[in-house]
Amino acid sequence: MALRLDKYLTELGVGTRSEVKKLIRAKQITVNGEPAVRPEQKIDEQKDEVCLRGEKLSYAAFEYYLFHKPAGCVSATEDTVHRTVMDYLTDTVRSDLFPVGRLDIDTEGLLLITNDGALAHELLSPAKHVEKTYYAKVAGRVTKEDVNLFEKGVDIGEDALTKPAKLVILSEGILSEIELTITEGKFHQVKRMFEAVGKKVVYLKRLSMGPLVLPEELAPGEYRPLNAGELAALKCR
């Protein structure tokens, strides 16, 4: 695939279009060993070797990362107050990555980070009913009645009840432990569902999204590229 050199460089995060032009004029960019002379020069990212000050640049049309979001950061690409999830990804190729969906600032767990907008739309579309499973600690005794109610749908103050959700009680008591699988992504949905039955979520962690499962060995704040099997499972949904 032929790309303009300046577009190729900006997509890799080398700089803005104007900054890239300055680098080219300063002969800091080479293509196959020869100094680039024009921003509009066409290159083949699969065949041509592009270097910045002698260092080879690598191009990827799309990148996909599993990220274990820690509490305390926001699911955004930039924020003037809080650290964002993107601040943790330090060695990616692309500069146009974004988190697929959102987790509350105090919620931990799985986030997919990519620049594949079409895939993100597929995963977030309400019509696709992508399952998301959460582990939570809940203040209050979660009961079989709650399980039945969640299966039917809960009134969280919107026009319609929530879609049927699968609630599994892991332990019950003053502080209950549960797993909840939902197919929607309404604002604060898990917390609001438990508030509707008189209980409060005090800890929340997303375990899975569609075919993606948070690896046990991935610590909060860590990330890794999707492997071939995970990527194939996502794209074959």
H or E element at residue 194? helix 189-195
Give 3-state DSSP helix, strand, coil % of the chain, rounded to 5: 25, 30, 45
Whether 110 and 65 have beta carbons less than 8 Å apart is answered as no
Cα distance between residue 26 and residue 14, in whole Å? 14
Q: Does residue 48 have an active-site annotation? A: no
Rounded to the nearest 5°, which phi and psi values hold at 90? Answer: -105, -10
Of the residues 48, 79, 104, 159, only one is catalytic, namely: 104
Query: What is the number of alpha carbons within 13 Å of residue 144 lying toward its C-beta?
Result: 0
Looking only at Cα atoms, what is the longest distance across the chain? 72
Q: Which of 155, 230, 214 is nearest to 179 (CA)?
A: 214
Cα distance between residue 142 and residue 140, in whole Å? 6
Across-strand partners of 67?
A: 111, 223
Sequence-ordered list of residues with C-beta below 8 angstroms from that of 76, at least 6 positions apart, any chain:
84, 85, 86, 99, 102
Give the relative orientation of helices 228-235 and 117-124 as an angle to the nearest 10 degrees: 60
Sequence-ordered list of residues with C-beta below 8 angstroms from that of 80, at least 6 positions apart, any chain:
none
- Please give the positions annotated as active site: 104
